[in-house]
Structure 1
Amino acid sequence: MDVLIVGAGPTGLTLGIDLVRRGVDALVVERAEGLFPGSRGKGIQPRTQEVFEDLGVLDAIRAAGGPYPARTIWKDGERLGEQPMFEAVAADEGAPYTEPWMVPQWRTQEILYARLVELGGEVGFGREVTGLEQDADGLSVRFADGTTVRARYVVAADGGRSAVRRAVGVGMAGETVDPNPFLVADLRLKGLDREYWHTFPRADGTGVALCPLAGTDDFQLAGRLPEGTEFDLSLDGIRKLVAAYTHLDAEDVTELRWASEFRPRTALADRFRVGRVFLAGDAAHLHSPAGGQGLNTSVQDAYNLGWKLGAVLRGGAPEAFLDTYEEERRPNAAAMLGLSTGVHRGEVQRGKATVQLGLGYPESSLSEETRAVPSGVRAGDRAPDGRVDGVRLFDAFQGPHWTLLGATAPVAGVRALPAAPESYGPGVFLVRPDGYVGWAGDSTAGLPAYLDRVGCR
């Protein structure tokens, strides 16, 4: 096979979808017997919504969730007021999605899994990777049941305790974000409305919050608890916790669906590539959950890697082209780690900084700006939406191809539109398959040389 993806979380499933639609022979394997059951990464940022639109799952994602409610603060059984969870970001033609969309992680994964199967892909559940060996032609991957699989490339999307990362000897340096232990759980309860994200803070900085999970009958409980807390993740234990921190009675918690404890920390893998092995998602970077950056950054990893693997395996691009994955994604992940830590500590407001629309790759070797006087959108920037001759750009971008804006002469394998929206500024723009401007020029004069250089012609 071409690519073995280890881990069926949002990262692995996104990558599986992207590779299968490119005609790449890819298999996703997952140690567990089924998909992850919890709501943990519930925020789908606007940039991820754009990715999901390209992959054909956005309608299902939007139908499965809803916007975030405002936060209301409680003290001694009384409401003290309310405030929005995010500072507003104005929508415009170039950014049709500007607010995070709440979808429990388990539901996001169900949608991604269904799309993968629809495209002809599959997930092998109950398949635990125990080791691998690389050679000049590929990798031999061993499983706990004694079987082996041969693949040209392996992608570690198997989480923060990644077995694949350990197998290739990549370190992961990080720090504790908060000394206090945290708890997250999905439950059902009575006694609270579903119009608000209910928070119950204490003077010592501990507290719990109960957020109605859009598209479900559940609430997500999140708690920052005192140091030294001994967790009881049973229904009785969660009931006692809710009764201790809120005005609700223990019996108001009617069902516990999932629970987990953790200590917020950040960590970044020393490398994102070791030969034929690539690290993505939590296997490459760990975030505080504050600000909703972890799942979204992970999806961006998969989206960046997918088209590059497709270019090498099906498009004739050179092997060295895959080096740009680490070149682009590791600095981006490092920046997101700093951002999520800042949100956790109250130094950064959720909003414009966290929607990921401003992320790009201006320093990448794949970004070539050749205009004499660049203005507007530049090489390395996210390519905004818009319309050209009645064609919506995001519709034109959808699919595994490159798109040329501002020139009528088609290039093989590239879709061409005769103009770019005024918001782009003057020039000709070549948009990569992942929606970023790779090359910009005053004319098409340097375009063939660029495509030859990146090996995508």
Structure 2
Amino acid sequence: MTRVLVVGAGPTGLALALQAQASGATVRVIDRRPDAVRPSRAMMTHARTLEVLRPLGVVEALLEYADRSPTVQLHLHGRAVRVKIADLAVPDTAYPHLTLLPQAHVEAVLATALESRGVPVERGVELVGLTSAPRTAVRAQLRGAGETTATCDYLVGCDGADSKVRQAVGIGTTGADYDREIVQADVELEGGLGTDTAHVATTRAGLVFLFPHGDQATWRLMATRAVSGGSAGDTLSPREVRELLEAARLGTRVSRLAWSEVVPMRYRLADRYRDHRVFLAGDAAHVHSPAGGQGMNTGIQDAINLGWKLARAANASDPETLLDSYELERRPVARSTTAWTNLVFWGESGLDPLASLIRTVLLPVGAPLLLPAVLRRRRLLAAGFRILAQLRISYPNSPLSIDDGRPESLPIRVGDRLPDLPVTVADAGTRLQSLTASPGTHLLLLRDAPTPDPVASDGWTRVHRLQDRPGRGLIAVRPDGYVGFRTTESTSLHLHRWLNLTGAH
């Protein structure tokens, strides 16, 4: 079995380990931190992230902690607008809602699931060096209770923005530092703010957020400000927190400051995501602003993309093409995400006169007039949600995307995510993402299609006949929920080529 060593037990590393293990690999996860407890930085889990985690059986546990119908009070320089964001007009996903779910809960659920599968996180174990070559295993030097050497087929650096894995293999980054920083604090407040509502306030210096989802107190305060000259991990004084709340005009004051930190902001993109048998994922590969809550979600989706490829490479007809497809698919996603989050972050926190004018004059005047109309335009709102929730990510130019013709009653493009459409299977109604909510490759046959020859002996590939969709074609769905192949004839020779290419045969 393929042996995968995951360095870093944040959301990216845990998701990657779950996906690789579910795909047939033996997995080991190490993390230099001695315990799992740390404050959340991410606060939102997007719809596409929930979709790709669904086959791993963890979504129900995640949603137990989540707020799926958040109410937000916008404080716009003296004006207040209350917005409730419930189910949106997005019928092709099981999760048509914003989901407030702090990172700490995501990590706890994923770590529990991983341990239940016999893969406990080895904490207090640090990577101190590694060697990798094209055709040989990776040797990693570890330090924990003594120094040891571990051998694996593949090693994945999920160890954050200052990744030791990335540095060890000499992969550079491009990007820059922002002239703003994020400050966070867990606080108790006095002044009548209800804990059923999040609050967002505009100030000349940026935005101030209050979420009733703190790790060590009721409220999580997040704000932007000009770079203070400190360093990562610095704490805030009670006076600094008080000044942030006063600038936000929220009519509340701090009764207890439980925890705080200063987070320098930067955007970086790794020059490449792979060095022989060593890969990068999550913040080790890309870092960008927190605008839109994209960081944790992009990292988890990196992990789900890469995990099955590592596990199945030994079965693939061309393992290098399979493994190279990870960077070809995911690096452009990080690049485009960085571009649009830079623009949004400028609007949220830019220090120049134009950004300040937008926040303190134009937004307070325009939002009370325009926001109710926008919320009534459900299609417009749904279009924005699709971008934010990463439902529009697609890989049409991937070497794993093979198009042999569009099945007539299932017009889904190669490279797109599988939408959650209603279908009939075995005389019962279901939905496509329920049908494919188990690890592995799924072949969706139209009603009249001949059943393909046996395609796997290890239970990796599952075949489903859609009785309400006439035709002789099929589509093949990858383990990460993207359509990799389609054809008008299920007997197409290209089907077996694609199965071999993806290690599913």
TM-score calculated relative to the size of structure 1? 0.89
Q: In 2, distance between residues paired with 1:253 and 1:396?
A: 50
Q: In 1, distance between residues paired with 2:438 and 2:407?
A: 31
Give the 5 Å matches for 1:96-135.
Answer: 96-135=94-133
Quickly say closer, same or farther: Cα 1:3–1:230, change in 2 above 3 A: closer
Q: In 2, distance between residues paired with 1:85 and 1:338?
A: 29
The AA in structure 1 aligned to 2:411 is G
Superposed displacement of residue 248, structure 1: 7.0
Q: In 2, distance between residues paired with 1:332 and 1:247?
A: 37
Quickly say closer, same or farther: Cα 1:394–1:90, change in 2 above 3 A: same
Partner of 1:388: 424
Q: In 1, distance between residues paired with 2:339 and 2:472?
A: 35
Q: In 2, distance between residues paired with 1:342 and 1:438?
A: 32
Quickly say closer, same or farther: Cα 1:134–1:241, change in 2 above 3 A: same
Q: In 1, distance between residues paired with 2:201 and 2:166?
A: 39
Is the CA contact 2:40–2:215 (under 8 Å) kept in the aligned structure 1? Answer: no
Partner of 1:53: 54
Quickly say closer, same or farther: Cα 1:455–1:223, change in 2 above 3 A: closer
1:211 equivalenced with 2:211 (yes/no):
yes
Superposed displacement of residue 179, structure 1: 1.8
Is the CA contact 1:29–1:127 (under 8 Å) kept in the aligned structure 2? Answer: yes
Q: Secondary structure at the match of 1:29?
A: strand
Q: In 1, distance between residues paired with 2:163 and 2:80?
A: 43
The AA in structure 2 aligned to 1:169 is G
Q: Secondary structure at the match of 1:35?
A: coil
Superposed displacement of residue 333, structure 1: 1.6
Deviations 1:50-82 (A, max 9, x none): 12221111111111110332232065xxx6221
Is the CA contact 1:190–1:254 (under 8 Å) kept in the aligned structure 2? Answer: no
Identity between Structure 1 and Structure 2 (%): 32
Is the CA contact 2:312–2:502 (under 8 Å) kept in the aligned structure 1? Answer: no
1:21 equivalenced with 2:14 (yes/no):
no
Superposed displacement of residue 88, structure 1: 7.5
Quickly say closer, same or farther: Cα 1:378–1:322, change in 2 above 3 A: same
Give the 5 Å matches for 1:1-400.
Answer: 2-35=3-36, 37-67=38-68, 68-73=70-75, 75=77, 80-82=79-81, 84=83, 89-92=88-91, 94-135=92-133, 136-144=135-143, 145-176=146-177, 178-191=178-191, 192-202=193-203, 204-213=204-213, 218-228=218-228, 233-234=235-236, 236-237=238-239, 239-242=241-244, 244-246=246-248, 252-257=254-259, 259-313=260-314, 315-320=315-320, 321-346=322-347, 351-371=385-405, 376-386=411-421, 387-389=423-425, 390=428, 391-400=430-439
Matched positions, count: 448
Superposed displacement of residue 222, structure 1: 1.0
Deviations 1:377-431 (A, max 9, x none): 1111101123222243223212222111124514423322222876x99942111
Q: In 1, distance between residues paired with 2:228 and 2:488?
A: 63
Bigger mean CA offset, 436-445 vs 128-137: 128-137
**Structure 1 portions without partners, runs of 5+:** none
Q: In 1, distance between residues paired with 2:276 and 2:126?
A: 22
The AA in structure 2 aligned to 1:206 is G
Q: Secondary structure at the match of 2:390?
A: coil
Q: In 1, distance between residues paired with 2:324 and 2:223?
A: 40
The AA in structure 1 aligned to 2:442 is T
Bigger mean CA offset, 410-419 vs 369-378: 369-378
Superposed displacement of residue 12, structure 1: 0.3
Q: In 2, distance between residues paired with 1:12 and 1:228?
A: 32
Q: In 1, distance between residues paired with 2:471 and 2:229?
A: 57
Q: Secondary structure at the match of 1:310?
A: helix
Q: Secondary structure at the match of 1:352?
A: helix
Kindly report the root-mean-square deviation, in angstroms, between the aligned alpha carbons of the 2 structures.
Answer: 2.9
Which has the larger share of helix? Answer: 2
**Structure 2 portions without partners, runs of 5+:** 349-379
Quickly say closer, same or farther: Cα 1:264–1:235, change in 2 above 3 A: closer
